[in-house]
């Protein structure tokens, strides 16, 4: 039976840890010149309805390192943009390629693609979830903290697709999660309810608050993202006012543990969601986090597509 990566709530803790372990192994092998052509002769179709830097490059390079190839397909390259049903596109691609990664707006588009394809479908980002990024985040946290269970992650800023996947992914692996967002920009009730269920099951703590200090207090990891995501450009100036105090800066750093690490999924807008000073202090970790997209996605591709 085929398996997809559509959102992290579909995967068990054990499956997530297996991906992280394989990501660590593939990173080691890549750094030491050990070839791992697990997907030799296979092709990944990459559908991009949203612009990308890290997602496109990491998946394309990852497939090459695994011995396969990747096809870049923008919305203008496919008949989807001209009205072909996603169901038909799924059935056609299933006959041509071995897997599909899609980066788009609507989560339903990813779900519909998976429901009608007989090859693995990977969510490279939607407005609701960003599972690949959060798997890379978990890999990075474990790399720098040597563990996941028992740590506290605090996310400060706009409750977006990153927040949703952070809550689910971190709670599943045994981490406490706190989110600080302004009123009106907090996670949707549906995702908060799901996250609370996961917290209850794992015995972890979940906090959703407007209070930045309460969220960041004694955090092991501080995370943030841009205040205006793709598709919200018209709100950018308004959001700068609303989110002005929701910034990772020296004051917020003072609430967290002394050995806290700071992470950002990039691109970063310095002096908005994070000060340039804090960003540069933790730049080595942030860019390791970006690199780990490559390694963890190779683990995802291998797990889902290896014959």
The catalytic position among 4, 225, 239, 247 is 225
Our answer to whether residue 265 is catalytic in this structure is yes
Establish whether 36 is a catalytic residue. no
**Gap between the Cα atoms of 48 and 148, Å rounded:** 32
Instruction: List the catalytic residue out of 133, 220, 239, 295.
Output: 133
| Tokens matching residue 194 | 């799901």
Active site includes 264?
Answer: no
Q: Which of 103, 142, 239, 264 is catalytic?
A: 103
Backbone phi, psi, residue 78, to 5°: -115, 155
Concerning whether 170 is annotated as a catalytic residue, the answer is no
Question: Does residue 142 carry a catalytic annotation?
Answer: no
Radius of gyration of the chain measured on its C-alpha atoms = 19
Query: Can 54 be counted among the known catalytic residues?
Result: no
What is the C-alpha separation between 300 and 138, in angstroms, rounded? 14
Given strand 261-264, what is the order of strands in its sheet? 206-209, 176-180, 152-156, 221-224, 261-264
Main-chain phi, psi angles of 264, to 5 degrees: -150, 130
Exactly one of 9, 65, 130, 220 is catalytic; which is it?
A: 130
Scanning the structure block, which residue is given the tokens 């860019």?
287
Task: For residues 12 and 10, give the distance between their C-alpha atoms in angstroms, rounded to a whole number.
Answer: 7
**Is the backbone of residue 105 left (phi > 0), alpha (psi -120 to 50) or beta?**
alpha
Structure tokens at 288: 């390791």
Report, as residue numbers or ranges, the catalytic residues.
Answer: 103, 130, 133, 225, 265, 293
């Amino acid at each position: 039976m085929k398996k997809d990566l559509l959102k992290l709530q579909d995967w068990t803790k054990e499956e997530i840890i297996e991906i992280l372990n394989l990501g660590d192994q593939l990173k080691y092998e890549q750094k030491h010149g050990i070839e791992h052509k697990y997907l030799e002769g296979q092709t990944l179709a990459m559908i991009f309805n949203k612009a990308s830097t890290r997602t496109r490059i990491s998946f394309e390079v990852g497939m090459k390192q695994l011995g396969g190839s990747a096809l870049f397909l923008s919305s203008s390259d496919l008949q989807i943009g001209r009205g072909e049903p996603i169901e038909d596109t799924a059935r056609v691609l299933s006959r041509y390629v071995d897997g599909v990664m899609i980066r788009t707006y609507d989560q339903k588009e990813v779900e519909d693609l998976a429901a009608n394809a007989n090859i693995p479908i990977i969510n490279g980002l939607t407005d609701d979830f960003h599972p690949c990024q959060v798997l890379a985040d978990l890999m990075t946290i474990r790399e720098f903290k040597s563990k996941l269970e028992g740590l506290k992650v605090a996310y400060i800023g706009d409750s977006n697709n990153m927040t949703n996947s952070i809550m689910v992914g971190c709670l599943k692996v045994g981490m406490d999660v706190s989110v600080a967002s302004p009123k009106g920009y907090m996670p949707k009730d549906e995702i908060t309810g799901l996250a609370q269920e996961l917290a209850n099951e794992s015995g972890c703590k979940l906090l959703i608050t407007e209070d930045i200090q309460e969220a960041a207090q004694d955090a092991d990891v501080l995370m943030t993202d841009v205040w205006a995501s793709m598709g919200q450009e018209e709100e950018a100036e308004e959001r700068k006012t609303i989110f002005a105090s929701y910034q990772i800066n020296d004051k917020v750093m003072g609430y967290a543990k002394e050995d806290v690490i700071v992470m950002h999924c990039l691109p970063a807008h310095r002096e908005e969601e994070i000060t340039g000073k804090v960003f540069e202090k933790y730049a080595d970790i942030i860019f390791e986090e970006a690199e780990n997209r490559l390694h963890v996605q190779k683990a995802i591709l291998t797990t889902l597509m290896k014959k």
